[in-house]
């Protein structure tokens, strides 16, 4: 019996299909939410491969600490740390402008920022906080960086979603309603939106040299529930993650796999788990819904004519 349990544990963490010795010398990679957890491990992995790595998060002190950890871990000093606050569309625009102005290319974008337990309120941009942090922020950042990524092709975008998406739904007219959904439900909705955005973007940019993927990272040993208001649930859920979650450096391999591996170069628009194509949601096949979500997202984040590369 003990032998069988050990075998099952190995199967659950068998990422042999994810392993790759691809080097990234001369490439530029951007990872959001990279001051701790899986994002930090993703950045370390990319840096070890020789890429210039840009990490982005909202806490300058944590950014500098993470930058030093990445350099120490990888031996690669070509690591930049830049602040960005996903609760502010202005901050995202300023960040994207800075990248476009000072980076001649961008080959990899990993949209890793995500959070649960945030307040049920609107941000200063009149978007629901949970939706803005988990979806609209990544949508805007990706849209603003697309032209640079196209000019840097071949390039790849990886949108980190969650298995929670299977419980999500998209009500176009109610995505930002306060008091309509539970905290967990709006997280599910946002993670479903990440997948539908991936599918629709692939349709719109196909042939550009930019590939886009979504993925479910599974559970990692992290403090993911740190924003929960209830100390009981925060401590209990984080404790369970530390017991049953996967080591974060293993979880990180999956995002890196989609960002670099030749085996998925023709799988743009697809959803992955454990480095294999994985079912996401029947909503992903609803082309009317994905198109509506795309256009409404552009409207809500205020894409200007100058920013809108679809007009040209």
Which of 28, 31, 149 minimizes the C-alpha distance to 84?
31
pLDDT of 240: 56
pLDDT of 4: 41
pLDDT tens, per residue, the chain with 312 residues: 444 443 333 434 556 678 889 999 999 999 999 999 999 999 999 999 999 999 999 999 999 999 999 999 999 999 999 999 999 999 999 999 999 999 999 999 999 998 888 999 999 999 999 999 999 999 999 999 999 999 999 999 999 999 889 999 999 999 999 999 999 999 999 999 999 999 999 999 999 999 999 999 876 655 555 566 667 655 665 565 566 567 677 888 999 999 999 999 999 999 999 999 999 998 999 999 999 999 999 999 999 999 999 987
pLDDT of 250: 82
User: Annotated active-site positions, please?
Assistant: 187
Spell out the residues 6+ positions from residue 118 whose beta carbon is closer than 8 angstroms to its own: 129, 130, 133, 183, 227
CA distance 218 to 42: 15
pLDDT of 156: 98
Q: Which residue has the tokens 């991936």?
A: 198
Burial of 151 (0-12, 13-18, 19+ CB in 10 A): middle
Tally of CA atoms within 13 A in the half-sphere of 27 that contains its CB: 22
What's the alpha-carbon Rg for the chain, to the nearest Å?
Answer: 18
């Amino acid at each position: 019996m003990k032998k069988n349990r050990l075998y099952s544990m190995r199967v659950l963490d068998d990422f042999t299909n994810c392993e790759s010795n691809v080097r990234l010398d001369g490439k530029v990679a951007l990872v959001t939410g990279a001051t701790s957890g899986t994002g930090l491990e993703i950045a370390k992995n990319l840096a070890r491969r020789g890429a210039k790595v840009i990490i982005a998060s909202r806490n300058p002190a944590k950014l500098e600490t993470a930058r030093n950890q990445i350099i120490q871990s990888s031996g690669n000093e070509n690591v930049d740390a830049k602040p960005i606050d996903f609760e502010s569309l202005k901050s995202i625009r300023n960040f994207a402008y800075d990248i476009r102005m000072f980076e001649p290319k961008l080959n990899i974008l990993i949209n890793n920022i995500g959070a649960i337990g945030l307040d049920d309120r609107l941000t200063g941009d009149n978007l629901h906080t949970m939706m803005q942090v988990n979806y609209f922020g990544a949508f805007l950042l990706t849209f603003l960086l697309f032209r640079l990524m196209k000019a840097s092709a071949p390039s790849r975008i990886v949108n980190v979603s969650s298995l929670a998406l299977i419980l999500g739904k998209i009500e176009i007219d109610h995505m930002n309603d306060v008091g309509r959904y539970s905290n967990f439900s709006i997280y599910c909705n946002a993670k479903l939106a990440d997948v539908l955005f991936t599918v629709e973007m692939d349709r719109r940019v196909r042939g550009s040299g930019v590939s886009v993927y979504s993925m479910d990272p599974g559970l990692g040993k992290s403090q993911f529930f740190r924003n929960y208001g209830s100390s009981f649930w925060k401590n209990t859920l984080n404790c369970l993650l530390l017991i049953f979650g996967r080591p974060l450096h293993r979880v990180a391999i999956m995002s890196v796999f989609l960002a670099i591996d030749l085996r998925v170069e023709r799988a743009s628009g697809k959803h992955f788990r454990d480095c294999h194509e994985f079912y996401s949601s029947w909503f992903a096949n609803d082309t009317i819904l994905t198109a509506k979500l795309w256009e409404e997202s552009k409207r809500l984040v205020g894409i200007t004519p100058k920013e809108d590369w679809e007009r040209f």
